[in-house]
Amino acid sequence: SASPSASPSASPSASPFAGRARTGAGARGLPPPDLPLYIGKSTRLRSRVLSHFAADHTSDRELSLSQQVRHIEWIETAGEIGALLEEARLVKRLQPTHNRQLRRNRELCTWRLATDIVGDWRLELVHAVDLDFGRRDDLYGFFRTRREATNRLRALARDHALCPPLLGLEKHPQGARCFDFQLKRCRGACHGGESPQAHALRLIEALHALKVEHWNWPGPIGLREGEALHVIDGWRWLGTATDEAALADLLEAGRPAFDLDIYKILVKAVKRLAVVNL
């Protein structure tokens, strides 16, 4: 997981906006008068926009896009990370007809490993609207629906010989042998053939690859990109500042809702950009 030492850091007492040069990355939109068609990012906007029209004779999607375009707008950003963040924000806000992957998701959920009783750890499905995903260290996997989360857990149970009833995937009489045990896909934790502690440890091992990155800073930080500072807190992007006044406004404005696409961008960004403790 990322930590403050994973990237170069700057002193929070120094002004973070001195002597920085702009770059040419940006996010672009292809909107008709009333409805945006498409939003994307590129480090070479002109060639990227023209590519939509150059390919229109081989792709039905590109042909449809080029025939509907009436107006093109662009936003200059400090670099690639800024363009990715701006693209994700605009797609969620404007819902362009040709953008699919970055649409809003209101059912985002994850598995939380409850450790209230030592050696008797249970999984519970929690949603982003009910829990602060950005400041937890006991979450595993992000899923867009309950069904997706359940299917992933079933696959883990099958691959690691975990007991489905103990994972909450099936209702089963306490102390009885589960169906998976009869198929030799469970080691017997359901009826005492395996201790709860041993089953819990194997569950943690199975979940390891899904563990959500923990936020390792006590408060908000800035990510330096060119002359700009991307302000983030708990894997949430508060905005981008280019001067002290804008930075103060962002820090006072509060945090937006947790967003999975923003999280994915920031998890990579903290390992690439200089970190400024705020």
Domain-wise residue ranges, the chain: 137-210, 215-277
Dmax of the chain from CA atoms? 70
Please give the average per-residue pLDDT across 61-77, as a whole number: 75
The contacts of residue 175 (CB under 8 Å, 6+ apart) are 190, 191, 192
pTM: 0.77
Q: How far apart are CA 188 and CA 102, in angstroms?
A: 42
**Token output for 133:** 């995903």
CA distance 91 to 100: 9
Q: How far apart are CA 86 and CA 131, in angstroms?
A: 25
Taking CA atoms, 202 is separated from 125, 161, 178, 242, in Å, by 19, 9, 18, 48
Burial degree of 55 (CB within 10 A; 0-12, 13-18, 19+): middle
pLDDT confidence of residue 12: 44
Q: Tell me the pLDDT tens digit for each residue of 80-137.
A: 999 999 999 988 888 777 666 655 667 899 999 987 666 567 899 999 888 889 888 8
